[in-house]
Structure 1
Amino acid sequence: MSTITTRDGTRIFYKDWGPKDARPIVFHHGWPLSADDWDNQMLFFHAQGYRVIAFDRRGHGRSDQTDTGNDMDTYASDTEDLVSALDLHDAIHIGHSTGGGVVARYVARAEPGRVSKAVLIGAVTPIMMRTESNPNGIPLEVFDGFRADLIENRAQFFLDIASGPFYGFNRGGAEVSEGLIQNWWRQGMEGGAKAQYDSIAAFSETDFTEDLKAISVPVLVMHGEDDQLVPIDETARKAVTLLQDGTLQTYEGLSHGLFATHPALINADLLAFIES
């Protein structure tokens, strides 16, 4: 397996396909998944001649199951270490959900020339949890429930998410894919429970407002209008107003996992943005 070792000694697994002199696209997965969530996009953009890279965040997938460093600052630092090890320049960073938060924090701090564009898909930015400054956010009790369910029966909790709100399979008339459900569950169970537990605080409580304001490269914000996990009004619609060069693309009726349920649609819009 291909791995890099971060500054604190954590081994990070990554995939790196395509010519090394081609323009790189780096994919950042959501919680509690792995690089495998991007297989369709990796294959699509590799066929378009891009260098495509996806990695398992620490504590997830095939990377080390860390019990420390499961926070956004460290995730961004790990991304910096990967980018440095692979010597990536002029890259496009695409993040989904929690991975969108990682992209925002990394891109805001990236060395000049490392990043050319970014995409936030169903991202947790600018902040998920209800606070004094975010009164319409999701109550802490919801995330406490996530933590309790993960401790009680992680396998069942992950199955319930995948077969329900993540892909919108709990909606009337939904076309349910057992393959997507099982693949989501497989990825989740491959990761470490401690890291996944810690990451709930990372994706729900981190405030990315200043990160979004600091990003100067073009950013495409993509979000399903029927996202039941990361509500669009409190995330994407706010995030785009904080960006210096942001564009919002929304999708009527689509879920949190829109790039998996509708890859042809999302891939076409991603390609148009990247090549614009």
Structure 2
Amino acid sequence: MHVDANGLRFHVQHLRGDRPAAARPTVVLLHGLVLDNLSSLYYTLAPPIARAGYDVLLYDQRGHGRTDRPPTGYDLDTAVDDLAAVVKACGITRPVHLVGNSYGGLVALHTAYLHPESVASVVLVEGQSLDPQHTGDLPGPDGYKGGWVESMANTLNLVALGLERNRWDAAAAAADRQARKAARVRAATDALLNDTTLIEDVSTARLLTPGQLAAVRNPVLALFGAESDLAASGPLLADLLPDCDLEVFPDAAHALLRDAPDALVGAVLRRLDALSAAAGSAA
């Protein structure tokens, strides 16, 4: 289905759990950048979470999948506003659990910082959250070693340049179903990178500083692959966030959805069940 939110038309999927409505929290799944959309979560995390009794909300972020692709608005603050607007448009009024994969984790953590009252908890699935403007080995008063923004921007620029210089011959692929699908994906990626401000917005992103991370009071579960380029982020986040548990998956890299799907599902469900049980006891 689609909902109108924050001036755009968003593609949304809403799976319902079988718990009583009063005891059925909503889990919002947030996908990564560019070569991603809600389908990567719809076919991995969403079904087992819904089978465990939770409502699950997924949506294609702006410019991705079947959601509108405006020329601007790919900064973090707008992504946070998009999330809040989609949740509201779906009639959800209680705090939600946010599970963010890669860039989706960045959106989830910024939402917890800016709107803690709307967030029940955060799960970061390989979600980078370090300020790249500082390169010291140890956290300082204003920042610490990062580099994700610069690295991501460089990668996206290279991809965009390659797509611009090597246009896909859609006519030649017209007779091949797989080739047609690949052509559609390539065209959408080309438009997102070369016809919007996404790369510029990512390049100028300001990530949370240690002081800002210390202000995030929501419970956070940080999940990283031991072989990931972002693995060093885990211990730093665990030290700086007031309520953060860290779990590292051996023999897994950045793509935890592919490298460790069963372990990932298990970790997320254990966290959701523990928080639900605690909330039930408090009530």
> Do they fold alike, i.e. is TM over 0.5?
yes
The one-letter code matched in structure 2 to 1:212 is L
Cα contact 2:116–2:217 (8 A) shared by 1: no
**1:29 equivalenced with 2:34 (yes/no):** no
The one-letter code matched in structure 1 to 2:70 is T
Percent identical among aligned pairs is: 21
**Which residue number corresponds to residue 56 of structure 2?**
52
The 3-state SS of whatever aligns with 1:92 is: strand
**Which residue number corresponds to residue 119 of structure 2?**
115
Q: Distance in 2 between matches of 1:255 and 1:10?
A: 34
Whose RCO is larger (CA < 8 A, sep 6+)?
1
Distance 1:135 1:244, change over 3 A: closer
Distance 1:213 1:194, change over 3 A: farther
Cα contact 1:3–1:14 (8 A) shared by 2: yes
Q: Distance in 1 between matches of 2:153 and 2:96?
A: 36
**Which residue number corresponds to residue 208 of structure 1?**
208
In the TM superposition, what whole-angstrom CA distance separates every residue of 1:217-273 from its partner, at most 9, and x where no partner exists?
Answer: 211001111113xx221x222122221111111112211111233211110111111
Larger Rg: 2
Instruction: Find 1:126's aligned residue among 124, 130, 136.
Output: 130
The 3-state SS of whatever aligns with 1:207 is: coil
The one-letter code matched in structure 2 to 1:47 is R
In the TM superposition, what whole-angstrom CA distance separates every residue of 1:190-218 from its partner, at most 9, and x where no partner exists?
Answer: 45224776257527842122543222121
Distance 1:74 1:4, change over 3 A: same
The 3-state SS of whatever aligns with 1:75 is: helix
Number of aligned pairs? 245
- Structure 1, 204-213 or 257-266: larger mean CA deviation: 204-213
Residues 75-86 of structure 1 mapped to structure 2, 5 A cutoff: 75-86=79-90
**Which residue number corresponds to residue 146 of structure 1?**
155
The one-letter code matched in structure 2 to 1:29 is H
Distance 1:259 1:54, change over 3 A: same
Q: Distance in 1 between matches of 2:59 and 2:263?
A: 24
Residues 70-219 of structure 1 mapped to structure 2, 5 A cutoff: 70-86=74-90, 87-110=92-115, 112=117, 114-128=118-132, 136-138=145-147, 142-143=151-152, 145-154=154-163, 190-191=188-189, 192-194=192-194, 198-199=198-199, 201-202=201-202, 205-209=205-209, 210-219=211-220
Cα contact 1:31–1:196 (8 A) shared by 2: no
Pairwise CA RMSD of aligned residues? Answer: 3.1
Cα contact 1:104–1:211 (8 A) shared by 2: no
Q: Distance in 2 between matches of 1:243 and 1:10?
A: 33
The one-letter code matched in structure 1 to 2:64 is H
Cα contact 1:23–1:51 (8 A) shared by 2: yes
- Structure 1, 260-269 or 69-78: larger mean CA deviation: 260-269
| Displacement of 1:153 | 2.2
The 3-state SS of whatever aligns with 2:47 is: helix
**What are the ranges of 5 or more consecutive residues in structure 2 without an aligned counterpart?**
137-141, 167-180, 275-283
Q: TM-score by structure 2 length?
A: 0.75
Q: Distance in 2 between matches of 1:219 and 1:75?
A: 19
Q: TM-score by structure 1 length?
A: 0.77
In the TM superposition, what whole-angstrom CA distance separates every residue of 1:6-46 from its partner, at most 9, and x where no partner exists?
Answer: 1xx12222111115933110001111211111021111111
Cα contact 2:29–2:98 (8 A) shared by 1: yes
| Displacement of 1:129 | 5.9
The one-letter code matched in structure 1 to 2:228 is D
**What are the ranges of 5 or more consecutive residues in structure 1 without an aligned counterpart?**
158-182
